[in-house]
Protein backbone atom coordinates (compact mmCIF):
# COMPACT_ATOMS: atom_id res chain seq x y z
CA UNK A 1 0.00 0.00 0.00
CA UNK A 2 1.23 3.46 -0.93
CA UNK A 3 -0.38 6.28 1.03
CA UNK A 4 -0.41 8.92 -1.71
CA UNK A 5 -2.15 6.44 -3.99
CA UNK A 6 -4.26 4.07 -1.95
CA UNK A 7 -4.66 6.36 1.05
CA UNK A 8 -6.22 8.96 -1.22
CA UNK A 9 -8.45 6.29 -2.74
CA UNK A 10 -9.68 5.15 0.67
CA UNK A 11 -10.45 8.62 2.04
CA UNK A 12 -12.16 9.85 -1.12
CA UNK A 13 -14.15 6.62 -1.20
CA UNK A 14 -15.33 7.26 2.35
CA UNK A 15 -16.34 10.79 1.38
CA UNK A 16 -18.05 9.50 -1.76
CA UNK A 17 -20.03 6.91 0.21
CA UNK A 18 -21.54 9.55 2.47
CA UNK A 19 -21.98 12.20 -0.21
CA UNK A 20 -23.82 9.76 -2.48
CA UNK A 21 -26.15 8.92 0.39
CA UNK A 22 -26.86 12.61 0.97
CA UNK A 23 -27.80 13.31 -2.64
CA UNK A 24 -29.78 10.09 -2.90
CA UNK A 25 -27.92 8.55 -5.83
CA UNK A 26 -26.32 5.12 -5.63
CA UNK A 27 -22.62 4.98 -6.42
CA UNK A 28 -23.22 2.47 -9.21
CA UNK A 29 -25.62 4.91 -10.91
CA UNK A 30 -23.26 7.88 -10.85
CA UNK A 31 -21.39 9.56 -13.67
CA UNK A 32 -17.95 10.38 -12.27
CA UNK A 33 -15.24 12.52 -13.83
CA UNK A 34 -11.64 12.14 -12.64
CA UNK A 35 -9.39 15.03 -13.65
CA UNK A 36 -5.81 13.85 -13.36
CA UNK A 37 -4.34 10.53 -14.42
CA UNK A 38 -1.39 10.06 -12.11
CA UNK A 39 -0.86 7.37 -9.49
CA UNK A 40 -3.46 8.74 -7.06
CA UNK A 41 -6.09 9.14 -9.78
CA UNK A 42 -5.49 5.60 -11.02
CA UNK A 43 -5.79 4.21 -7.48
CA UNK A 44 -8.97 6.18 -6.80
CA UNK A 45 -10.57 5.14 -10.06
CA UNK A 46 -9.67 1.50 -9.46
CA UNK A 47 -11.30 1.57 -6.03
CA UNK A 48 -14.39 3.38 -7.31
CA UNK A 49 -14.89 0.58 -9.82
CA UNK A 50 -14.66 -1.92 -6.97
CA UNK A 51 -17.41 0.08 -5.24
CA UNK A 52 -19.60 -0.38 -8.29
CA UNK A 53 -18.96 2.70 -10.43
CA UNK A 54 -19.63 1.92 -14.09
CA UNK A 55 -19.59 5.34 -15.75
CA UNK A 56 -16.17 6.88 -15.05
CA UNK A 57 -14.43 9.31 -17.38
CA UNK A 58 -10.76 10.04 -16.72
CA UNK A 59 -9.01 13.11 -18.10
CA UNK A 60 -5.29 13.78 -18.30
CA UNK A 61 -3.41 16.91 -19.39
CA UNK A 62 -4.48 16.27 -22.99
CA UNK A 63 -8.17 15.80 -22.21
CA UNK A 64 -10.53 12.85 -22.04
CA UNK A 65 -8.97 9.39 -22.15
CA UNK A 66 -10.97 7.90 -25.02
CA UNK A 67 -10.57 5.14 -27.59
CA UNK A 68 -9.28 7.53 -30.26
CA UNK A 69 -6.16 8.36 -28.23
CA UNK A 70 -2.92 6.72 -29.40
CA UNK A 71 -0.63 8.20 -26.73
CA UNK A 72 -1.81 6.25 -23.69
CA UNK A 73 0.34 4.13 -21.38
CA UNK A 74 -0.91 0.78 -20.10
CA UNK A 75 -2.28 2.29 -16.90
CA UNK A 76 -4.37 4.90 -18.67
CA UNK A 77 -5.62 2.36 -21.20
CA UNK A 78 -7.45 0.62 -18.36
CA UNK A 79 -9.65 3.71 -18.08
CA UNK A 80 -10.54 4.41 -21.69
CA UNK A 81 -14.15 5.56 -21.58
CA UNK A 82 -16.64 3.15 -23.08
CA UNK A 83 -18.79 6.09 -24.21
CA UNK A 84 -18.39 8.38 -27.22
CA UNK A 85 -17.28 11.26 -25.00
CA UNK A 86 -14.14 13.01 -26.25
CA UNK A 87 -14.26 16.52 -24.71
CA UNK A 88 -14.14 17.87 -21.16
CA UNK A 89 -17.47 19.61 -21.72
CA UNK A 90 -19.11 16.31 -22.66
CA UNK A 91 -17.48 14.64 -19.67
CA UNK A 92 -18.86 17.20 -17.21
CA UNK A 93 -22.35 17.25 -18.75
CA UNK A 94 -24.76 15.99 -16.04
CA UNK A 95 -21.88 14.43 -14.07
CA UNK A 96 -22.67 13.61 -10.45
CA UNK A 97 -19.11 13.88 -9.19
CA UNK A 98 -15.76 15.31 -10.16
CA UNK A 99 -12.51 14.33 -8.47
CA UNK A 100 -9.70 16.80 -9.08
CA UNK A 101 -6.18 15.44 -8.63
CA UNK A 102 -4.42 17.84 -10.95
CA UNK A 103 -3.65 21.55 -10.57
CA UNK A 104 -5.49 24.88 -10.46
CA UNK A 105 -7.10 25.79 -13.76
CA UNK A 106 -7.61 22.31 -15.18
CA UNK A 107 -11.35 22.84 -14.93
CA UNK A 108 -13.44 25.90 -14.21
CA UNK A 109 -16.78 27.16 -12.98
CA UNK A 110 -18.03 26.75 -16.53
CA UNK A 111 -17.39 23.01 -16.26
CA UNK A 112 -19.11 22.84 -12.87
CA UNK A 113 -22.16 24.57 -14.37
CA UNK A 114 -22.55 21.59 -16.69
CA UNK A 115 -22.83 19.11 -13.83
CA UNK A 116 -25.96 17.83 -12.12
CA UNK A 117 -27.94 20.13 -9.84
CA UNK A 118 -26.44 18.68 -6.65
CA UNK A 119 -22.91 17.62 -7.62
CA UNK A 120 -20.11 16.20 -5.52
CA UNK A 121 -16.96 18.23 -6.13
CA UNK A 122 -13.64 17.12 -4.63
CA UNK A 123 -10.88 19.55 -5.62
CA UNK A 124 -7.78 18.03 -4.07
CA UNK A 125 -4.88 19.83 -5.75
CA UNK A 126 -2.51 21.13 -3.06
CA UNK A 127 -1.83 23.69 -1.78
CA UNK A 128 -4.25 25.46 -4.13
CA UNK A 129 -7.30 23.44 -5.21
CA UNK A 130 -8.60 23.42 -8.76
CA UNK A 131 -11.51 25.48 -7.44
CA UNK A 132 -12.19 26.80 -3.94
CA UNK A 133 -15.52 25.88 -2.31
CA UNK A 134 -16.94 29.38 -2.69
CA UNK A 135 -16.25 29.26 -6.42
CA UNK A 136 -18.19 26.02 -6.70
CA UNK A 137 -21.09 27.33 -4.61
CA UNK A 138 -21.40 30.40 -6.83
CA UNK A 139 -22.56 28.20 -9.70
CA UNK A 140 -23.89 25.15 -7.83
CA UNK A 141 -25.28 26.22 -4.43
CA UNK A 142 -26.39 22.67 -3.56
CA UNK A 143 -22.98 21.10 -4.19
CA UNK A 144 -21.06 18.98 -1.69
CA UNK A 145 -17.46 20.16 -1.77
CA UNK A 146 -14.28 18.70 -0.32
CA UNK A 147 -10.69 19.91 -0.58
CA UNK A 148 -7.33 18.95 0.85
CA UNK A 149 -7.20 22.09 2.98
CA UNK A 150 -7.62 22.28 6.75
CA UNK A 151 -9.22 25.73 6.51
CA UNK A 152 -12.19 24.44 4.47
CA UNK A 153 -15.00 22.04 5.45
CA UNK A 154 -14.64 18.41 4.42
CA UNK A 155 -10.87 18.15 4.47
CA UNK A 156 -10.00 15.03 2.49
CA UNK A 157 -6.80 14.14 4.29
CA UNK A 158 -5.01 10.80 4.12
CA UNK A 159 -4.14 11.04 7.81
CA UNK A 160 -7.72 9.92 8.46
CA UNK A 161 -6.67 6.51 7.28
CA UNK A 162 -3.11 5.43 6.85
CA UNK A 163 -1.86 5.36 10.49
CA UNK A 164 -4.83 3.23 11.53
CA UNK A 165 -4.87 1.05 8.43
CA UNK A 166 -1.26 0.07 9.10
CA UNK A 167 -2.01 -0.34 12.81
CA UNK A 168 -4.76 -2.86 12.07
CA UNK A 169 -2.74 -4.67 9.41
CA UNK A 170 0.36 -4.96 11.56
CA UNK A 171 -1.53 -6.03 14.67
CA UNK A 172 -2.82 -9.14 12.88
CA UNK A 173 0.42 -9.60 10.91
CA UNK A 174 -1.35 -9.24 7.58
CA UNK A 175 0.61 -10.47 4.56
CA UNK A 176 -0.83 -7.70 2.41
CA UNK A 177 -3.38 -4.90 2.45
CA UNK A 178 -6.02 -6.10 0.00
CA UNK A 179 -9.01 -4.35 -1.55
CA UNK A 180 -11.42 -5.82 0.98
CA UNK A 181 -9.40 -4.24 3.80
CA UNK A 182 -9.32 -0.90 1.99
CA UNK A 183 -13.08 -0.90 1.46
CA UNK A 184 -13.67 -1.80 5.10
CA UNK A 185 -11.41 1.08 6.13
CA UNK A 186 -13.39 3.48 3.94
CA UNK A 187 -16.69 2.26 5.39
CA UNK A 188 -15.39 2.67 8.94
CA UNK A 189 -14.33 6.25 8.23
CA UNK A 190 -17.66 7.03 6.54
CA UNK A 191 -19.67 5.56 9.41
CA UNK A 192 -17.77 7.48 12.08
CA UNK A 193 -18.88 10.78 10.53
CA UNK A 194 -22.47 9.81 11.31
CA UNK A 195 -21.75 9.48 15.03
CA UNK A 196 -22.06 12.47 17.40
CA UNK A 197 -18.66 14.05 17.95
CA UNK A 198 -17.00 13.86 21.36
CA UNK A 199 -17.18 16.64 23.94
CA UNK A 200 -13.44 17.10 23.52
CA UNK A 201 -13.88 17.84 19.82
CA UNK A 202 -16.83 20.15 20.48
CA UNK A 203 -14.63 22.37 22.65
CA UNK A 204 -12.26 22.99 19.75
CA UNK A 205 -14.42 22.66 16.65
CA UNK A 206 -17.99 23.32 17.72
CA UNK A 207 -20.91 20.96 17.34
CA UNK A 208 -20.10 19.34 14.00
CA UNK A 209 -22.99 17.26 12.74
CA UNK A 210 -23.27 14.87 9.83
CA UNK A 211 -24.27 16.80 6.72
CA UNK A 212 -22.98 18.45 3.57
CA UNK A 213 -20.28 20.36 5.45
CA UNK A 214 -19.25 17.34 7.51
CA UNK A 215 -19.17 14.22 5.36
CA UNK A 216 -16.04 12.68 6.86
CA UNK A 217 -14.48 12.92 10.34
CA UNK A 218 -11.85 15.50 11.16
CA UNK A 219 -8.27 14.23 11.61
CA UNK A 220 -8.30 14.99 15.35
CA UNK A 221 -11.01 12.42 16.09
CA UNK A 222 -9.25 9.86 18.29
CA UNK A 223 -11.95 7.28 17.60
CA UNK A 224 -10.51 6.80 14.13
CA UNK A 225 -7.87 4.48 15.55
CA UNK A 226 -10.49 2.26 17.13
CA UNK A 227 -12.88 2.15 14.19
CA UNK A 228 -10.45 1.97 11.29
CA UNK A 229 -7.86 -0.31 12.88
CA UNK A 230 -10.46 -2.80 14.07
CA UNK A 231 -12.21 -2.79 10.67
CA UNK A 232 -8.94 -3.44 8.86
CA UNK A 233 -7.77 -6.12 11.30
CA UNK A 234 -11.10 -7.93 11.16
CA UNK A 235 -11.16 -7.76 7.36
CA UNK A 236 -7.63 -9.16 7.17
CA UNK A 237 -8.70 -12.13 9.27
CA UNK A 238 -11.88 -12.69 7.23
CA UNK A 239 -10.04 -12.50 3.91
CA UNK A 240 -7.35 -14.94 5.02
CA UNK A 241 -4.30 -12.69 4.90
CA UNK A 242 -3.76 -12.39 8.68
CA UNK A 243 -1.14 -14.59 10.30
CA UNK A 244 -2.36 -14.29 13.88
CA UNK A 245 -4.65 -16.96 15.22
CA UNK A 246 -7.60 -16.67 17.62
CA UNK A 247 -8.28 -13.02 16.83
CA UNK A 248 -10.84 -11.58 19.26
CA UNK A 249 -12.37 -8.43 17.79
CA UNK A 250 -14.07 -7.34 21.00
CA UNK A 251 -10.86 -7.64 23.01
CA UNK A 252 -8.92 -5.87 20.27
CA UNK A 253 -11.34 -2.94 20.32
CA UNK A 254 -11.02 -2.72 24.10
CA UNK A 255 -7.25 -2.59 23.74
CA UNK A 256 -7.46 0.22 21.20
CA UNK A 257 -9.93 2.19 23.33
CA UNK A 258 -7.54 1.97 26.28
CA UNK A 259 -4.86 3.64 24.16
CA UNK A 260 -6.80 6.83 23.37
pLDDT digits (tens, 9 = 90+) for 12-32: 999 999 999 999 999 999 999
Residues 125, 171 within the same domain:
no
Residues 37, 134 within the same domain:
yes
Residues 180, 122 within the same domain:
no
> What integer pLDDT is reported at residue 1 of this predicted model?
84
Mean pLDDT, rounded, for 182-195 = 98
Percent of the chain at pLDDT > 90 equals 97
Asked if residue 122 is part of any domain, the answer here is yes
Asked if residue 153 is part of any domain, the answer here is no
> What integer pLDDT is reported at residue 57 of this predicted model?
98
pLDDT tens for 61-82 read 999 999 999 999 999 999 999 8
Residues 20, 110 within the same domain:
yes
pLDDT tens for 111-164 read 999 999 999 999 999 999 999 999 999 999 999 999 999 999 999 999 999 999
Last residue in a domain, options 147, 169, 204? 147
Residue 84: CATH number of its domain:
3.40.50.720
Asked if residue 152 is part of any domain, the answer here is no
Q: What is the mean pLDDT of the chain?
A: 97
Residues 30, 110 within the same domain:
yes
Residues 226, 110 within the same domain:
no
pLDDT tier at 2, thresholds 50, 70, 90: confident
Asked if residue 102 is part of any domain, the answer here is yes
Residues 60, 92 within the same domain:
yes
Residues 180, 233 within the same domain:
yes
pLDDT of 191 > 90? The answer is: yes
> What integer pLDDT is reported at residue 107 of this predicted model?
98
Q: For residue 181, what are the domain limits? A: 158-258
> What integer pLDDT is reported at residue 128 of this predicted model?
96
> What integer pLDDT is reported at residue 50 of this predicted model?
98
Number of domains present in the structure of the chain: 2
| Whether the Cβ atoms of residue 230 and residue 240 lie closer than 8 Å to each other | no
Residues 127, 191 within the same domain:
no
Residues 166, 142 within the same domain:
no
pLDDT of 40 > 90? The answer is: yes
> What integer pLDDT is reported at residue 4 of this predicted model?
83
Last residue in a domain, options 147, 173, 203? 147
Residues 27, 102 within the same domain:
yes
> What integer pLDDT is reported at residue 144 of this predicted model?
99
Asked if residue 20 is part of any domain, the answer here is yes
Mean pLDDT, rounded, for 214-226 = 97
Burial 119-155 (b: 16+ CB within 10 A, else e): bbbbbbbeeebbbbbebbeebbeebbbbbbbeebbbb
Amino acid sequence: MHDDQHGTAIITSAALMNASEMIGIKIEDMKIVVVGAGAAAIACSTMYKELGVKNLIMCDSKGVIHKGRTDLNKYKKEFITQTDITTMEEAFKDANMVLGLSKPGTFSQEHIKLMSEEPIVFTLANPTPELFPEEVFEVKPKAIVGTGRSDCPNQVNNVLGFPFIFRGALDVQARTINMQMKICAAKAIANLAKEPITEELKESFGNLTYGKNYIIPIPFDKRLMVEVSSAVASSAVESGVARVKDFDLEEYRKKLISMI
